[in-house]
Structure 1
Amino acid sequence: MKKIGVYGGSFNPVHRGHVEIIKYVLKEMELDRLIIIPVGCPSHKEDLLLEGEKRIELLRAACMDIDSVEVSDIEIKNKGVSYTYDTLLNLKKKYIDASFYEIIGEDSADYLHEWKDYEKMVEECKFVVLKRNGYAYRAEHKNIIVLESPLYRYSSSEIRERLKKGLDITGMVPEKVHEIIIKEKLYR
């Protein structure tokens, strides 16, 4: 049975921390594939996202040299609010012979019990919780795995703020992503 990781988020924009997480989780969890899913219409926060197709372009540029990674537009194509459980069910139809690992940060794990159909989700897949600064999540279910992952110091909101102020973001985002952001004057 294949092991497939699912890593969702706004990726607004994708940064070096995201790429490090992708590489870390692929190796640590011995995944056969990692599907990265940028959110379309978020269910839990104000929608201040860069257009979905542009975030997908940036993600593909960031991950082009990483084997076993797929960037999916499954939630971008969905015109309504996307819920993780519904996305998981759609992926299970596509990948019938696979076990799924939902990749989340400790910040998300803190309110996991509030997610739509959380009880069903935790039976359908395993959650892989990654460390975040300022959190100390403790797993309360056999299908929740807390990894002693490194802390990543990058933040999409900090990058957006720096871009709005005309400050340099060199080294904060992958080189190809940096080129696209500067060329197309994104997040200005």
Structure 2
Amino acid sequence: MRSQVSVTPKVQYQKVFSQRRKRIGLYGGTFNPVHNAHLLVADQVGRTLCLDKVLLMPDMIPPHVDKKSAIAADYRVDMLKLATKDNPMLGLELAEIERGGVSYTYDTIKELKERHPDTDYYFIIGGDMVDYLPKWHRIHELMRMVNFVGVRRPGAENKSDYPVIWVDVPEVDFSSTDIRQRCHDGRSIKYMVPEAVEKYIKEHQLYID
């Protein structure tokens, strides 16, 4: 008679848990520089949707029609590391920096899903970018690969014919452009960026010219 091996509930639970798909948020941008509104969005979305982690993903060259100039990627990555180090919900994804060239979301998601087939990705964008979705590179294929998460923005339509998960986040009315201008003018950026990022900007004399 064949002997039977019993499995304790604890072992069964561990097996099921180990097979659970990961839920990872991706928050892309130039982050020139990263600021507290970026961190607020990432943290709020991650906790609202019960994600395992939200990874801030700096681009190398954004594919926008209005090309954005940014400081060297090394500076932006350093500031992101400083900004996220004290929050276990947040981390970094450097796929676009490492790949180089124009950062198309389709290429990035395709690469990440090939590397991490056990992961479901939630791509976080503002309401203004939701309005722009019909013009995204290979958008119909991309929609089958990733879950889009929209954060409502003043002045945007904040609606879409595409499936978008909407998350309400407190509005913070400043941008990286505002911070760069303040640095150029010698004005304070305290409480607009993490203290460590403010110190880094001053030490490396960024955004002065």
TM-score of the two chains, using structure 1 as the length reference: 0.95
Q: Which amino acid aligns with 1:168?
A: S
What residue number does 2:23 align with?
A: 3
The 5 A counterparts of 1:30-69 are 30-44=50-64, 45-69=66-90
Check the 8 A contact 1:139/1:146 in 2, yes or no. no
What residue number does 2:195 align with?
A: 175
Q: Report % sequence identity.
A: 35
SS class of match (1:103): strand
Between the aligned partners of 2:35 and 2:92, the Cα distance in structure 1 is 15
The 5 A counterparts of 1:69-88 are 69-88=90-109
What residue number does 1:16 align with?
A: 36
Match of 2:46 among 18, 21, 26: 26
What residue number does 1:100 align with?
A: 121
Between the aligned partners of 1:113 and 1:107, the Cα distance in structure 2 is 12
Q: Which amino acid aligns with 2:155?
A: G
SS class of match (2:54): strand
Q: Which amino acid aligns with 2:143?
A: V
SS class of match (2:144): helix
Match of 2:177 among 138, 157, 169: 157
Q: Which amino acid aligns with 2:169?
A: S
Check the 8 A contact 2:128/2:157 in 1, yes or no. no
Residue deviations 1:124-173 (CA, integer Å, cap 9, x gap)? 111000011212311323x3112222212221000001111111111110
- State the 1:122 CA deviation: 1.0
Number of aligned residues: 187
Q: Where in structure 2 are there 5+ consecutive unaligned residues?
A: 1-20
Match of 1:127 among 126, 148, 159: 148
- State the 1:42 CA deviation: 1.3
> Which runs of structure 1 show a deviation greater than 6 angstroms over 4 or more consecutive aligned residues?
none
Between the aligned partners of 1:16 and 1:79, the Cα distance in structure 2 is 26
Residue deviations 1:64-104 (CA, integer Å, cap 9, x gap)? 01114221221112232110010001111121111111000
Larger radius of gyration: 2
Q: Where in structure 1 are there 5+ consecutive unaligned residues?
A: none
- State the 1:46 CA deviation: 1.9
Between the aligned partners of 1:173 and 1:68, the Cα distance in structure 2 is 18
- State the 1:43 CA deviation: 1.1
Give RMSD over aligned pairs. 1.2
- State the 1:112 CA deviation: 0.7
Higher RCO (CA < 8 A, seq sep 6+): 1
SS class of match (1:170): coil
Asked if 1:91 corresponds to 2:112, the answer is yes
Between the aligned partners of 1:154 and 1:71, the Cα distance in structure 2 is 22
Check the 8 A contact 2:131/2:159 in 1, yes or no. no
